[in-house]
Amino acid sequence: MSLSLAETVAAIAADMAGRTERGKVATYIPELAGVDPGQFGIAVVDAEGTLTAAGDSETPFSIQSVSKVFTLTLALGKVGDTLWNRVGREPSGNAFNSITQLEYEKGIPRNPFINAGAIVVADAILAGHTPKVALGEILRFLRFIADDEDIHIDQKVARSEQDTGFRNAALANYLRAFGNLRAPVEQVLGVYFHHCAIAVTCRQLALAGRYLAFGGRHPTAGGRVVSAGRAKRINALMLTCGHYDGSGDFAFKVGIPAKSGVGGGILAVVPGKAAIAVWSPGLDAQGNSVLGSAALEILSQRMQWSVF
């Protein structure tokens, strides 16, 4: 007998609550080091707009690199495909914060989801404006696609990253040396750190992901966020690069586009069927949520949700 989506989601939350192998919370951002690893949340929004959630789905967490999907969308809206002159579209096979490829690939980051790529994307959004204006634009966009005005930047997390983000500062300076940043390094980093420090719940994140699941449309506002073709291409990048050097393994096990963050959140997209957000703060060696990945593997199997 097959279970309904609601029963499946509830069963997954119950399963995750009993797991003891939870990975390790990110400690390199001091403000994230104190997050309780015992938490797990899941929210799924389907094609009818029905939201199914379980566990800690209403607890805000740090969006971190999941925000890179939304900044990429905004930057493509601003500069179109010229963005690809500055950022590649290949998996890096390296850690999200690695600098090595930047030297021999002459300041062109492999993809928009590794830190170097997302820093270039932040620069494209800045485009001569102040960081405040750019961040306002990012927040407005997220609130619009999530249908929720109650989405904010956690200033403590932003400060914590700003105080300790020496690797990102190195990446940004290196990009600037290659002429691939236009705004001053401090401004670009300010935008980058603050958009990574946005707090969201699983419910908000799943709702925000609907345009990617449903052909670029905003299901409730009726309009279009991006063209169907652009939604497809962003999903393709999520599948190939969304879990950094763990992307191949995630595609193998789960088989759907998804983007992770070191806050422990993952946004996953089942084209035509659902947008899913899972969250659990414990990470694996690649910086991806251990229970979040496990939950998505089970959900995709039980619902037979896969792009393959």
**Binders of ligand DON among 45-84, rule CB under 6 A?**
64-65
The DSSP string of the chain is: -PPPHHHHHHHHHHHHHT-----B---SSGGGTTS-TT--EEEEEETT--EEEEESTTS-EE-GGGHHHHHHHHHHHHHGGGGGGTS--S---S-TT--HHHHHTTT--S-SSSHHHHHHHHHHHHTTS-HHHHHHHHHHHHHHHHT-S--EE-HHHHHHHHHH-HHHHHHHHHHHHTT---S-HHHHHHHHHHHHTEEE-HHHHHHHTHHHHTTTB-TTT-SBSS-HHHHHHHHHHHHHHTTGGGHHHHHHHT-S-EEE-TTSEEEEEETTTEEEEEE-S-B-TTS-BHHHHHHHHHHHHHHT----
Mark whether 65 is an active-site residue: yes
Mark whether 192 is an active-site residue: yes
Contact 214, 179 (CB under 8 A): no
CB closer to ligand DON, 235 vs 260: 260
Catalytic residue among 244, 270, 278, 280: 244
Annotated binding residue at 28? no
Mark whether 262 is an active-site residue: yes
Tokens read off for 91: 């998996």
Smallest distance, Å, CB 8 to ligand DON?
26
**Binders of ligand DON among 235-294, rule CB under 6 A?**
260-262, 287-288
Q: How many residues bind ligand DON (CB under 6 A)?
A: 13
CB closer to ligand DON, 96 vs 279: 96
Catalytic residue among 68, 191, 200, 289: 68
Within 8 A by CB and 6+ apart from 111, the residues are 87, 88, 89, 90, 91, 92, 117, 237, 240, 241
196 binds ligand DON (CB under 6 A): yes
Smallest distance, Å, CB 304 to ligand DON?
27
CB closer to ligand DON, 64 vs 300: 64
Smallest distance, Å, CB 259 to ligand DON?
8
CB closer to ligand DON, 217 vs 243: 243
One of 40, 61, 70, 96 touching ligand DON (CB under 6 A): 96
CB closer to ligand DON, 54 vs 121: 121
CB closer to ligand DON, 17 vs 170: 170
| Angle, CA 259 vertex, CA 268 and CA 74 arms, to 5° | 100
Site string for ligand DON, 102-131 (x = CB under 6 A): -------------x----------------
Smallest distance, Å, CB 264 to ligand DON?
9
Annotated binding residue at 161? yes
Annotated binding residue at 115? yes
| Interacting residue ranges for ligand DON, rule: CB under 6 A | 64-65, 96-97, 115, 161, 168, 196, 260-262, 287-288
**Which residues fall in the annotated binding site for substrate?**
65, 115, 161, 168, 192, 244, 262
Residues with a known catalytic role:
65, 68, 192, 244, 262
**Which residues fall in the annotated binding site?**
65, 115, 161, 168, 192, 244, 262
